[in-house]
Amino acid sequence: MSTLTVYQNLSILIIETDEILAEYVSLDLKESGYNPIVAHNSSVGFHRAMDLQPALIVIDRVLAGESGLSLCRNLREMGNNKPLLLLMARAQVEDRVACLESGADDYFLKPYRSDNFLELIRFYLQPNISDKNQMIFGNLILDFASRRVFCHGRIIELTMKEFELLKFLMEHPREVLSREQILENVWGYNFLGESNVIEVYIRYLRLKIEKEGEKRLIQTVRGIGYVLRET
């Protein structure tokens, strides 16, 4: 099956105030079989994201009138769980952590390079080839169709990276997983190097699945990594 066949129905929203850059990105996406949608400010971008529900959203960190980080937070607060990628001019540790804490799944550094950008897009939109409908661990049920988690009767909405992280942990129950294993298998490459990307996402997951005094399932193994276990 060709790349065009796989991706021809997938819409990608580009929220970028630089019209020339937006055009370059749009053309590259179109040539790769995607359906690009362009918005040149945060307000239009927000409404198109909510109304059209694109498969993935690309947001420049610096937008006229509003930070791209704020736009990411607003989309997450409104329940949008599609992959969010930030275009950033620098990648200091504080910038990377701010990216994750805004709800973005990943970032791409300027200057724009089409091959690297499209590789990142394909990584986040690769089809789920699992032959299972659900995974179960204790009171956690991971549902692949809805990309939701059910815990003690609660429905928990997850972002793409939160879902993939929990899925990887559930695929290896009671097995201590190193930071390197998690980065390689969940992000596919060394996303933030020495920074605390994993800690940020583990914290998010714990806040969502460990409510009302429920016991800790994702446990820290000091100096090594993390393990999913009941006690």
More confident residue, 162 or 7: 162
Residue 159 has pLDDT above 60, yes or no: yes
Residues in the chain: 231
Q: Which residues contact 219 (CB under 8 A, 6 or more apart)?
A: 226, 227, 228, 229
Residue 144 has pLDDT above 90, yes or no: no
Residue 214 has pLDDT above 80, yes or no: no
Output the pLDDT for position 106: 85
Residues 186, 177 contacting (CB under 8 angstroms)? no
Q: Confidence band (pLDDT; 50, 70, 90) for 192?
A: very low
CA neighbor of 73 nearest in space, from 49, 90, 52, 51:
49
Residue 59 has pLDDT above 60, yes or no: yes
- The reported pTM is 0.69
Query: What percent of the chain shows pLDDT beyond 90?
Result: 37
Report the distance separating Cα 44 and Cα 64, nearest Å.
12
